[in-house]
Structure 1
Amino acid sequence: MKKNKKRKIKYYFAACFFTLSALLELALNSLEILQHRRQIDIPKNIVYAVFAISVAAYLFYKAKTVGTDIDDEDERDEFIAVKTDHQMYKIANWLIYILSLVFLIGAAFMYEAQGFTTLVIILITIAATLSVLWNLLLLIEVIMGITNELRN
C-alpha cells in the first residue's frame, strides 16, 4: 500500500514537471512571436509543447490508476470516483485546452500575414489565459488527488 502512494506521488510530480515545461515552451514561443525572432522554430516548439502536455496527461492518468484493482474497490472508492470524474469537468477541461491551442495556432498564422500585430497580441493573450486556466485546473486536481491519498 505504501509503495502505491509513493508511485502515485512520483507520477503526480512528473506530470507537474511536464505541464510546467509545456507552459514554459508556450511562453517562450509567445515571446519569440512578439519579438520577431526565430520564426522557423515556432512550429517545432509547439509540437514539443503538445507532446509534453500529452505526456503529462498520460502520467496523470497513470497516477490515478495506480493501485486500483477490481477486488480492492468498495463503495467509498466508487463514490469518490464518481465525484471527482464528472463528465462535464472533462469536457470543459479539454475544451479549454483545445481552444488555447487554436488561438495560439491562429496567432501564429496571423503573424505570418503582415499587418495583424494587434490581433496577434490579443490572440496570444487569450491563448495564454486559457492555458493558465487549464493548468490551474490540472494543478487543483493534482493537489486534491494528493490530499485525498494522504488522508487515506
Structure 2
Amino acid sequence: MKGIVFTEYLAFAEQLVGEDVVEDVIEDCDLPSGGAYTSVGTYDHSEIVTLTKAFSQHTGTEPEELVRMFGSYLGEVFQKKFGRFFDDAPTFFDFLANVHTHIHVEVQKLYPDAELPSIEMLERSEFDAQLRYRSPRKMDSLALG
C-alpha cells in the first residue's frame, strides 16, 4: 500500500486521538516499518490493520467504522491534493466511474509496483449507484468512506 495512505492515516489519527496517543500506539504496535512512513514509500497494509485495531481500543469505535471515517477523510484530502481528477468529472458518479480507468492508470504510471483495487460502476441513476469493489486487502470500509 502506498505511503500516502499511511501518512494521511496518521494525520487522521492525530485529529482523532491526539499526537501523543498516536506516538504511543505506534510504539506499542511494534510495526515492521517502525511507524516511519514516507508518502512515496510502499508498506504492507497489515500495518494499517494493526494500527486500526489499536486506535479502536483507544476510541471505543469499531475498526470498520474507523476505516470508513478515514475513507471520508482521505477523499477530502485527495480532492484537495489531486483536484484535477475531481474537476474533470461533472458529477461524483462520473468521478467514481473513472477511478479505475483513469485515475488508477495515472497512479500506475507513477508507481508501477502499486497494487490498486478495482472499482467498477455496475448501475447508476441520477441519485444512486451500484459499484463493485475488489481488493486483496479487503478495505471495503475505506472505499465506502
More strand by share: 2
Asked whether the two chains share a fold, i.e. TM above 0.5, the reply is no
| TM-score, normalised by the number of residues in structure 1 | 0.27
More helix by share: 1
Q: Choose 1 or 2 for highest CA Rg.
A: 1
**Relative CO higher for 1 or 2, CA cutoff 8 Å, sep ≥ 6?**
1
